[in-house]
Structure 1
Amino acid sequence: MSQKLIPMAGRPKIFDECEAIEKATEVFRSKGYDTASADELLGAMGIGKGSFYLAFKGGKQELYTRSITQFSEHFSQKISQSIAEADDKIEFLKAFFLNLAYASDCDKERGCYLGNALVQLSEKDHEMKKITAKLLRNLQTIFAATIKEAQEKGQMKSKEDPEIMGWHLSNLWNGIHVTRRMEASPEILKSIIEMNLKILD
């Protein structure tokens, strides 16, 4: 964990940035970037305004950027680990995507916090655009490697290029988060996902 020595109340205090960012992320997840107030963020992080601006000189925008970065890294690691531990990796991928249809809130496992960031801010902020582009690339790499392994083991009928199929799935992950903002019906979302997942047969 990243720790930083920050003066607080006239004496040094160990400030655990990773933990504080994780707590701020919960506020951003539930409130959204625009409506999350400074008081709510500081209260969740357990620090004062002075300490906050010493650690996050760019203020709320820097905190949000670092929140997305940290969440993205953990999310990618979690998916990689889950796939590695799955007995049937292709079935795991199918279940992972189908579960997106039934996410009733901003679920950590489904990564919709990141999906929302892609929709809301990626075109407004250059730094955020770089972060979200890296996330999609990481997902594409994970999906492509999984598909390639399954093809080599004869677990899939499709012989399509795993790199392109990986991009198809990362695009599906991104697109579902866009679509669900306009269409919340689990049945419709499930049908869309199932149609796209036919490439994994």
Structure 2
Amino acid sequence: MAGRPKIFDEQEAIQKATEVFRNKGYDTASADELLNAMGIGKGSFYLAFKGGKQELYIKSIEQFSENFYKKLAEGMAKSGNGIEFIKKFFLMQADSSDCEKERGCYLGNSLVQLSEKDEDIKRISAKILRKLQQLFAEEIRKAQETGQIKNAEDPEILAWHLTNLWNGVHVTRRMENSPKILRSLIEMNLKMLE
């Protein structure tokens, strides 16, 4: 016997749980809140997520990060100018909604809050950052080869700087609510792409 078949869409359920985690945080999101949001019962939950809340959270981070990366990579590919796309991507961080400032970036929060507490989350976080860094490095390398940017620093290091900026902006944004200040900080860092 293979067991009972799933009677719910796992990706959709994880997406609904992600909203609970984003709003409440991992520690304060209760099992009841997660089950209600996902629209499933305890039996179905533990059949699908044998590791319970922690496994759900890890799958939530993985699904969220894959969607984030896919949108970013597709947007960059379609833009026709990867460096300008990167600049706009960062400058948009300064103008995020108040809700996002309070909640922060879901991925950024997972990196800061839980990566030191859990090896699986730490591994996933490192993978996310590495993929982001590689995406930036590829665009920087192309821009250096075509003369679009004059900075001759190692594209890998420049890309790590951008990845570090992405992390830092999400932490700073939670404390500093002035888009003007955030924009100035971001613009200062983006000068390396000239």
Question: Is 2:75 aligned against 1:92?
Answer: no
Match of 2:118 in 1: 125
Q: How many angstroms does 1:40 deviate by?
A: 1.6
Q: Is the 8 A contact 1:101 1:189 kept in 2?
A: yes
Match of 1:40 in 2: 33
What runs of 5+ residues in structure 2 fail to find an aligned partner? none
Q: Is the 8 A contact 1:6 1:14 kept in 2?
A: no
Match of 1:157 in 2: 150
Q: How many angstroms does 1:184 deviate by?
A: 2.4
Question: Is 2:53 aligned against 1:73?
Answer: no
Q: Distance in 1 between matches of 2:25 and 2:100?
A: 10
Structure ranking higher on relative contact order (CA contacts 8 Å, 6+ apart):
2
Q: Distance in 1 between matches of 2:31 and 2:172?
A: 30
What runs of 5+ residues in structure 1 fail to find an aligned partner? none
Instruction: Give the match's secondary structure for 1:34.
Output: coil
Residues 142-153 of structure 1 mapped to structure 2, 5 A cutoff: 142-153=135-146
Q: Distance in 2 between matches of 1:38 and 1:106?
A: 24
Instruction: Work out which of the residue numbers 17, 24, 46 in structure 2 matches 1:24.
Output: 17
Question: Is 2:52 aligned against 1:63?
Answer: no
CA-based RMSD of the aligned residues comes to 1.7
Question: Is 2:186 aligned against 1:189?
Answer: no
Q: Is the 8 A contact 1:6 1:13 kept in 2?
A: no
Identify the structure with the greater strand proportion. Answer: 1
Instruction: Give the match's secondary structure for 2:7.
Output: strand
Q: Distance in 2 between matches of 1:128 and 1:13?
A: 26
Q: Deviations over 1:4-32 (max 9, x none)?
A: x874xxxx553321111111111111222
TM-score after normalising by structure 2: 0.91
Number of equivalences? 190
Match of 1:53 in 2: 46
Q: Kindly tell me: are residues 54 and 13 of structure 1, through their superposed partners in 2, closer, same or farther at Cα, counting changes over 3 Å?
A: closer
Q: Deviations over 1:137-192 (max 9, x none)?
A: 00000000011111112211211111111100001001111222222222221111
Match of 2:100 in 1: 106
Match of 1:166 in 2: 159
Which runs of 4 or more aligned residues in structure 1 lie more than 4 Å from their structure 2 counterparts after TM superposition?
none
Counterpart residue type for residue 118 of structure 1: L
Identify the structure with the greater helix proportion. Answer: 2
TM-score after normalising by structure 1: 0.88
Q: Is the 8 A contact 1:106 1:113 kept in 2?
A: no
